Amino acid sequence: MGQLILMRHGESLWNKKNIFTGWVDVPLSKKGVKEAVDGGIEIQNIPIDIIFVSSLIRAQMTAFLAMLNHSSGKVPILQHPNEGKLDDWSKINNKHTLDDTIPVYIAWQLNERMYGDLQGLNKAETAEKFGKEQVHIWRRSFDIPPPNGESLKMNAERTIPFFEKEILKYLQDGKNIFISAHGNSLRSIVMYLDKLSSEEVLKLEIATGKPIRYEYSKGNFKKV
């Protein structure tokens, strides 16, 4: 039986300022750092074999901060497959040291929705400019994207296939997986795991820095 842990990154500096972020690579706020550490304490006694993070720094910071108090004491190490010297020159040449690490894989497919023309805009000011109803449609409809951005449906179309191809196989082998990502990419994964409809997923809220856990056995996911 494998376990899956999902965690949305802690509050970012643009979350704090109420700004549309999307793919803009903004770090955590002080509150976000605390949320990441506190979330890690909740999972500190669960063995973790592999970590997946998005390519955005707020998700990566969250994963590493969450692991600071992990009972295993293992060191999370970023992996750089097919990245030339980053891959070739980062080999660990001691088996004991290698056994004391947890591989961390970066995947852009786990990134947040790309918010297009809204990125960098204050959410309240955007609602005043375009109207609350229009902004709500851009933010919460399943298949209507913001201008030059992604809808939740488009996000799911890259996130779910990556999960099925690159992550599910480890759970099938009984590994425990930790994913640190974003509200919408994780919403897409939970939609897949819980078999939610396109209407049901719109009501799903993913809190920052709060672990969501599943057990995987014989092709089935059970939330714990």
The 10s digit of each residue's pLDDT in 100-151 is 999 999 999 999 999 999 999 999 999 998 999 999 999 889 999 999 999 9
| 37 C-beta neighbours (distance < 10 Å), count | 17
- Which stretches within 56-175 are classed as H helix? 57-66, 85-88, 95-99, 123-130, 132-140, 152-162, 168-172
- Check residue 140 and give its pLDDT: 87
Write the pLDDT tens digit of every residue in 12-55. 999 999 999 999 999 999 999 999 999 999 999 999 999 999 99
Q: Is residue 119 within 8 Å of 131, Cβ to Cβ? A: no
Residue among 37, 184, 125, 40 at smallest CA distance from 28: 37
The two structure tokens encoding residue 53: 């993070």
How far apart CA 111 and CA 5 sit, in angstroms, is 17
- Check residue 61 and give its pLDDT: 98
Its pTM stands at: 0.96
- Check residue 58 and give its pLDDT: 98
Average model confidence (pLDDT) across the chain: 97
Q: What percent of the chain has pLDDT over 70?
A: 100
Q: What is the mean pLDDT of residues 8-15?
A: 98
Domain locations along the chain: 2-223
Write the pLDDT tens digit of every residue in 14-24. 999 999 999 99
- What is the CATH topology of the domain spanning 2-223? Rossmann fold (3.40.50)
Catalytic residue IDs = 9, 112
